[in-house]
């Protein structure tokens, strides 16, 4: 496991010793089913306390890399899940049951996709080899909920940002559990991970290259934690990986298989704090590389967030001049014009983005809003209905469907969708009002009446 704590420059290559309190069930053997339960318990806690990054584009990106590494991998006892922890520490870890977590800070630290793939491959190897399970097997009287707390202390601990995360996991009873990877665990994860990495077509040296980046952080550190002295350090791991590459992995491989790492890093950087400082860094970088589309796009995003609309438009247009078919730039231009109230200009860019990728939900929703603002209600409804069964972040599409039906004077469908919208946001009285009103517009025995009655009954349940 890798970990770098912001402002402290500490590089972890082990899971630290954790002293925790617990009671519970005694496992004769920690089985794969037990692993799945524990992994799900831990994941659900992270979701409940909003500790995972809700960035669809970034999550799809790491999942693509993970699936590429898993392709053809015969040692897969789980259905793997890949998530991003919303934390600036450079960290990655695997919990039992095939759950792989990459911190936002680590994604921003890598220099190419291959290095990120190397980290993911290493963590998949820990999961496949069931290293945490083997440690848990040696413990006694511990239950799933408490094990989730143990994992929280081990993987999320080590800095101010993690305090609330650890507090989210309840602990009870009285005993202790040492949870740390052995030298053999790390070597096996490096050995298996290297095989996965090369098998996925990435350049094998990527794994060592990332450790060399971590060496820089180690070098900057004013003090080295004492446990690094007794655990396989960075130098040993680099030496081990380099020796494996020299003897078994002579192929070159690729630094990028999926591409667009720079764009993903840009989005994650802007998702953090201190946007003004980031903006200045981007300006300085652009002076050195004025034709860099990713820099232009990221700078425009920052300006858009800071309310510098004219500057943002200028940089979006410059980015578009270098990359006329860049879907992200076209979408962002459409969104900024929509925000400015210029629906006609928004429609132009959104249609161009839609022509490149008709399955981009953000573009489809924005195009629907542009059509609605222009009075093209049938076209707007067509866009909204395309998203009817899609989960959108912080958006209930039934509201937009209801509005479009209302503008078209199709009142039964409008009331029905308003009912579903208010049901979703837990406003019972408003939901029941619209659902009951919708019954007036549909013939008895029709499919829509059945759906309305089912929605009404759900409140009684």
pLDDT grade for 229, boundaries at 50, 70 and 90 = very low
Q: How confident is the model at residue 70 (pLDDT cuts 50, 70, 90)?
A: very high
Domain that holds residue 188: 2-248
For residue 10, is pLDDT > 50? no
- Angle among Cα 217, 221, 227 to the nearest 5 degrees reads 95
In this predicted structure, what is the pLDDT of residue 125? 92
H-run or E-run covering 12:
strand 10-12
In a domain, 400, yes or no: yes
Q: Within a domain: residue 408?
A: yes
pTM of the model: 0.71
Of 360, 385, 410, the position where a domain reaches its end is: 385
pLDDT of residue 215: 73
**Domain presence at residue 266:** no
Identify whether the C-beta of residue 158 lies closer than 8 Å to the C-beta of residue 16.
yes
pLDDT for 166-176, tens place per residue? 555 554 433 44
Lowest mean pLDDT: which of 225-229, 271-275, 325-329? 225-229
Cα–Cα distance, 273 to 232 (Å, whole number): 34
The reply to whether 200 and 294 lie within a common domain is: no
Tell me the two tokens of residue 340.
């400015």
Same domain, 405 and 455: yes
Which of 248, 265, 286 is the last residue in one of the domains? 248
Q: Tell me: pLDDT of 74 over 70.
A: no
Lowest mean pLDDT among 4-13, 108-117, 337-346: 4-13
For residue 339, how many other CB atoms are within 10 A of its CB?
12
Q: What percent of the chain lies above the pLDDT cut of 70? A: 78
Ranges 40-44, 303-307, 390-394: which has the least confidence: 390-394
What is the rounded average pLDDT of the residues 344-369?
Answer: 96
Residue 257: inside a domain: no
**Inter-residue contact 372 to 350 (CB < 8 Å):** no
pLDDT tens digit string along 379-413? 999 999 999 988 776 678 999 999 999 999 999 99
256 is a domain residue: no
Do 198 and 101 lie in one domain? The reply is yes
- Which contacts (CB < 8 Å, 24+ apart) does range 401-406 have? 403/372, 404/368, 404/372, 404/377, 404/380, 405/381
The per-residue pLDDT for range 282-298, each reduced to its tens digit, is 888 899 999 989 889 98
Give residue 89's pLDDT band: very low, low, confident or very high (50, 70, 90). Answer: confident
In a domain, 11, yes or no: yes
Whether 264 maps to a domain, the answer reads no
For residues 128 and 236, state if they share a domain: yes
Domain boundary among 385, 410, 436: 385
Helix axes 275-288 and 261-270, enclosed angle (nearest 10): 150
Backbone angles phi, psi at 286, to 5 degrees: -70, -30
* Run of H or E including 94: strand 90-95
Contact residues for 300 (Cβ-Cβ < 8 A; gap 6+): 311, 312, 313, 314, 315, 316, 319, 332
Higher pLDDT, 415 or 281: 415
Work out the average pLDDT over 47-76.
87
| Mean pLDDT score, 362-390 | 96
Pair type for strands 90-95 and 2-5? antiparallel
CA distance 53 to 125: 23
Residues 179 and 288 in one domain: no
Q: Where are the alpha helices (DSSP H) in 75-159?
A: 104-109, 113-128, 131-137, 144-156
Residue labelled with tokens 């979703």: 424
> Do 14 and 34 have their domain in common?
yes
Are residues 163 and 299 located together in one domain of the fold? no
> How many domains does the chain divide into?
4
Confidence at residue 185, expressed as pLDDT on a 0 to 100 scale: 83
Does residue 198 surpass a pLDDT of 60? yes
Regarding whether 296 and 358 lie in a shared domain, the answer is no
Query: Any long-range contacts for 356-365 (C-beta under 8 Å, 24+ apart)?
Result: 356/325, 356/327, 356/330, 357/327, 360/327, 360/331, 361/387, 361/390, 361/392, 362/331, 362/335, 363/327, 363/331, 363/334, 365/392, 365/395, 365/397, 365/400
Q: Which region, left, alpha or beta, applies to residue 92 given φ > 0 means left and ψ of -120 to 50 means alpha?
A: beta
Report which DSSP code applies to 200. Answer: T
The confidence score (pLDDT) of residue 394 equals 67
pLDDT at 226: 30
Residues 80 and 141 in one domain: yes
How high does pLDDT run on average in the chain?
82
> Lowest-confidence range among 19-33, 96-110, 144-158?
19-33
- pLDDT confidence bin for 327, thresholds 50/70/90: very high
Q: Is the dihedral of CA 210, 212, 218, 224 positive or negative?
A: positive
Is 228 contained in some domain?
A: yes
Which tokens is 146 given? 């408490």
pLDDT, residue 4, reads: 43
Residue 459's pLDDT band, with cuts at 50, 70 and 90, is confident
51 and 141 co-located in one domain: yes
Kindly report the CATH number assigned to the domain that includes residue 358. Answer: 1.25.40.10
Residues 359, 227 share a domain: no
- pLDDT interval class at 271 (50, 70, 90): low
Residue 184 and residue 305 share a domain:
no
User: What are the tens digits of pLDDT across the range 313-326?
Assistant: 999 999 999 999 99
pLDDT score of 402 = 97
In the chain, DSSP finds a helix count (H) and a strand count (E) of 22, 5
Q: Which is more confident, 280 or 453?
A: 453
Among 91-105, 120-134, 140-154, 340-354, which stretch is predicted with the lowest mean pLDDT? 140-154
Residue 248 is predicted with a pLDDT of: 86
C-beta separation of 186 from 13 below 8 A: yes
Residue 151 pLDDT exceeds 70: no
**pLDDT at residue number 14:** 32
């Amino acid at each position: 496991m890798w970990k770098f704590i912001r402002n402290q420059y500490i590089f972890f290559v082990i899971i630290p010793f954790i002293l925790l309190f617990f009671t519970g069930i005694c496992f004769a053997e920690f089985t794969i089913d037990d692993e799945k339960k524990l992994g799900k318990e831990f994941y659900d806690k992270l979701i409940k306390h909003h500790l995972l990054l809700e960035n669809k584009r970034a999550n799809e990106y790491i999942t693509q890399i993970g699936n590429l590494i898993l392709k053809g991998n015969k040692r897969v006892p789980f259905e793997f899940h890949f998530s991003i922890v919303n934390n600036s520490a450079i960290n990655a870890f695997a919990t039992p049951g095939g759950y792989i977590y990459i911190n936002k800070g680590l994604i921003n630290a890598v220099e190419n996709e291959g290095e990120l793939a190397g980290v993911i491959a290493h963590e998949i190897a820990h999961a496949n080899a069931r290293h945490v399970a083997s440690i848990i097997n040696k413990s006694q009287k511990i239950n799933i909920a408490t094990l989730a707390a143990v994992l929280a202390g081990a993987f999320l601990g080590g800095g101010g940002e993690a305090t609330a995360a650890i507090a989210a996991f309840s602990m009870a009873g009285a005993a202790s559990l040492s949870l740390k990877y052995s030298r053999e665990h790390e070597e096996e994860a490096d050995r298996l991970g290297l095989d996965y990495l090369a098998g996925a077509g990435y350049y094998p040296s990527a794994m060592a290259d990332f450790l060399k980046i971590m060496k820089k952080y180690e070098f900057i550190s004013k003090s080295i934690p004492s446990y690094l002295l007794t655990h396989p350090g960075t130098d040993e791991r680099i030496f081990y990986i380099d020796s494996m590459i020299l003897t078994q992995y002579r192929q070159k491989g690729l630094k990028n298989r999926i591409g667009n790492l720079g764009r993903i890093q840009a989005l994650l950087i802007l998702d953090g704090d201190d946007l003004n400082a980031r903006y200045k860094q981007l300006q300085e970088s652009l002076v050195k590389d004025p034709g860099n589309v990713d820099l232009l796009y990221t700078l425009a995003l920052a300006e858009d967030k800071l309310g510098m609309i004219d500057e943002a438009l200028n940089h979006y247009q410059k980015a578009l001049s270098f990359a006329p078919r860049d879907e992200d730039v076209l979408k962002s231009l459409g969104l900024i014009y929509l925000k400015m109230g210029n629906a006609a200009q928004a429609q132009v860019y959104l249609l161009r983005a839609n022509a490149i990728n008709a399955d981009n939900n953000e573009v489809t929703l924005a195009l629907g809003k542009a059509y609605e603002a222009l009075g093209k209600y049938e076209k707007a409804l067509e866009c909204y209905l395309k998203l009817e069964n899609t989960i959108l972040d912080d958006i209930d599409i039934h509201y937009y469907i209801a509005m479009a039906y209302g503008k078209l004077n199709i009142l039964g469908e409008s009331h029905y969708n308003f009912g579903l919208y208010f049901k979703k946001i837990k406003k019972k009285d408003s939901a029941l009002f619209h659902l009951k009103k919708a019954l007036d517009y549909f013939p008895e025995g029709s499919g829509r009446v059945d759906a309305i009655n089912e929605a009404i009954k759900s409140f009684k349940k």
